[in-house]
Amino acid sequence: MKKLWTRSELSILKKRYTEKGAEYVAKKTGHPIHSVVAKANSLGIHSGALRRWSQFELNYILKNYSKKPSDSIGRSLKRSVASVDNKARQLGIYEPKPKKWSPQQLEMLKQLWPDKKYSIDDVAAKLNKTRPATHYQAWKMGLRRPQVWKFWTKDEVKYLKKNYKKKTYVQIAKELGMTRIAVFQKAIKMGLRVRRTPKPWTEADDTYIRQNYRKIPTREIAAKLDRSLDAIINRAGPLGISRKKQ
């Protein structure tokens, strides 16, 4: 027979649950832990041991989950890897991330990394790894990409001047056999950076965000609307949908 809660037991629950947690209350009242948690939820009492996710933390995961390992995000937010992955699942952006590199992947990285024909993104795609993970593993192995350190020729500088307004840095980098960062930094030094006028938001954009935010991965919304991930996250605030509905 289910044990009923007495007044004294409820008093212990109300006074100690937030501070001590369910296990403490269960020992003091004789109720099982699941019964304590259920009763506390019905009374609207929350345990202080359960740290709620702030909007900053949610935005941080949305921005960095596809770029950084879960343990790195966990260290930044002072949360466990399991907690980070569970929240990623709730946000619809969870991606299984193998922890270790296989011998075959390491051997392939050795072959592809110094090859000028492949960009860092190409190497990462062939290894089914993220760009940061690939770059970090290559650094650990002492691998270098010769084209990153070479001097710019007159023809390459001329090509950059001619195309920096017409093509993206990624396209220019691929055609010159360099990294996007190398092209970007050279353009900055030459004063060639283009300041584009911010793209205005349309009613159709806002409607799409309202209909799909937190239903599909945010990066898919960004790709669909041709905007950055940060732009979508920042736009969700004024639209009143930045916080997860309880």
Quick: pLDDT tens for 121-177.
888 888 888 888 888 888 888 888 765 456 788 888 999 888 888 888 888 888 887
Q: Mean pLDDT across the chain, nearest whole number?
A: 82
Q: Whole-prediction pTM value? A: 0.29
Please report where in the chains the tokens 């300041």 appear, as a residue. Answer: 195
Q: Which long-range contacts (CB under 8 A, 24 or more apart) does 186-189 make?
A: 186/152, 186/157, 186/160, 187/160
- For 13-27, the pLDDT digits (tens) are 888 877 777 778 888
- For 177-207, the pLDDT digits (tens) are 777 778 888 888 888 866 556 678 999 999 9
Kindly give, in sequence order, each residue whose CB lies less than 8 Å from that of residue 209, ignoring residues fewer than 6 positions away.
221, 225, 232, 235, 236, 239, 241
The angle, 0 to 180 degrees and rounded to 10, between the axes of the packed helices 120-127 and 103-112 is 160
